[in-house]
Amino acid sequence: MKLLPLAGIVLGAASFLLGIRGEDPSRAWGSYLVNLVFWMGICMGSVTWVAIMNMTNASWGRPLKRLAEAQVATMPFLWILVALLYAGHRSLYIWSTHPVHGKERWLEADFLFGRDLLVIGAMTLVSYFLVHQSVRADEEKLLGGDETSVRLRWRRQILLSPVLGILYGVGMSVLAWDLIMSLDPHWVSTLFGGYYFMGGLYSALAWLAVLSFLFHRREGIQGKIDGSVFHDLGKLLFAFCLVTGDFFYSQFLVIWYGNIPEETKYVILRVKTEPWNSVAWVVLAGAFGIPFVALLSRKLKMSPPLLGATALVVLGGMWLERFLLVVPSVGARGQIPLGWAEVGVAVGFLSLEIMCFGWFMERVPWLPVGDPLFEKRWGSLSGDPLEVSGHLPGSNKGGKVRG
């Protein structure tokens, strides 16, 4: 099982390298950027959801906590991938060869990538410390450690959670301006940063729903991620379907009323011009229309397979939405650049996430037994620590509880 994600990473790397050595390197770099900003939203949004649940005392979502925290394992690789993007900035960003008057200092490659790496590094460090305190509290609880130490680690999580929440909002806005909006340096939207980070939270929820479906019957956590948890997760996914749609509509309405050429041409290219208008309709259906109608059903929200399938539709719609934000500005004309090379790069990023998720979950307890909100709802778990520590199906390495 471990070889499959590794093979996917190799496929993705090979597809990308063949692309940048081909006739149109910008197409390969565009595909790279699409998947980077998509998974950046999921990974950073997932850990931010842990912070949000901590700040709101959301006891219903505690069985999902470790699944969300696992995305922290991918975040160092995102830092590396953004650093590698520097090598292709001349193929992506027109301002790198034709400076834009009035924006020369902000859109300067060294300064731009330097601040972006600083932002990602800060979010990664805070996320790591938050998850570290969570995991250590669980390990100490399972090993019968000092209750005072467990409570101290919970207080540290409470202190770190708002810090991460603020960092996520500010940091993801900066990344949206720098990596996506600057692809068309003359286009301006004051709402774009919020639109991007809310979309990241929406995608992270959908990814969490997929993971919950895949692992809710796993030995050790079976019965904890039950119908009521799926129902609450589905309601939250429905809410963010509405919020993300509202952010899009608010942004679109202001641009439409303003009717300023520098703003409208960006939207017209994507919603009125072939072939992108067809993609725009698919995005609207996948990210908003289908989940909106589907998630009205209480029965669907309580069904793991149906909720998981709906979440997959959301993820597909949001991936295409990132594709629509990036690729038309890179220079693609006439036809949608979506072929085997783009599929290979997407598989590579997905495989990296799966590999990091598996590595993390093999080494930690699957349930947050040291979390007082988990204990309040589910009671104190006793018995063999490995009952809640386990390993991924197909792995030959049990998850050890470190002392």
Residue extents of the structural domains in the chain:
22-379
More confident residue, 106 or 401: 106
Mean pLDDT in residue range 253-257 = 89
Q: What is the mean pLDDT of the chain?
A: 91
More confident residue, 198 or 263: 198
* Residue type (1 letter), 302: M
pLDDT at 393 over 50: no
pLDDT tens digits, one per residue of 338-359: 889 999 999 999 999 999 999 9
Q: How far from 124 is each of 54, 117, 356, 386, 398, CA to CA, in Å?
A: 18, 10, 14, 28, 26
Q: Of the ranges 163-172, 177-186, 290-299, 371-380, which one carries the lowest mean pLDDT score?
A: 371-380
For residue 64, with 0-12 CB atoms within 10 Å meaning exposed, 13-18 middle and 19 or more buried, which class applies?
Answer: buried
- Tokens encoding 47: 């850990």
pLDDT tens digits, one per residue of 33-59: 999 999 999 999 999 999 999 999 999
pLDDT tens digits, one per residue of 310-333: 999 999 999 999 999 999 999 766
Q: What is the DSSP string of 200-245?
A: HHHHHHHHHHHHHHHHTTSTTTTTTS-HHHHHHHHHHHHHHHHHHH
Cα–Cα distance, 289 to 282 (Å, whole number): 9
- 167-200 in b/e form (b: 16+ CB < 10 A) is bbeebbbbbbbbbbbbbbbebebebbbbbbbbbb
List phi, psi (to 5°) of 66: -70, -35
Q: At what angle do helices 109-142 and 75-85 cross, to 10 degrees?
A: 170
pLDDT tens digits, one per residue of 207-244: 999 999 999 988 878 889 999 999 999 999 999 999 99
Give pTM, 2 decimals: 0.93
**What was the pLDDT predicted at 380?**
64
pLDDT at 70 over 90: yes
pLDDT tens digits, one per residue of 284-296: 999 999 999 999 9
**What was the pLDDT predicted at 297?**
96
**What was the pLDDT predicted at 183?**
95
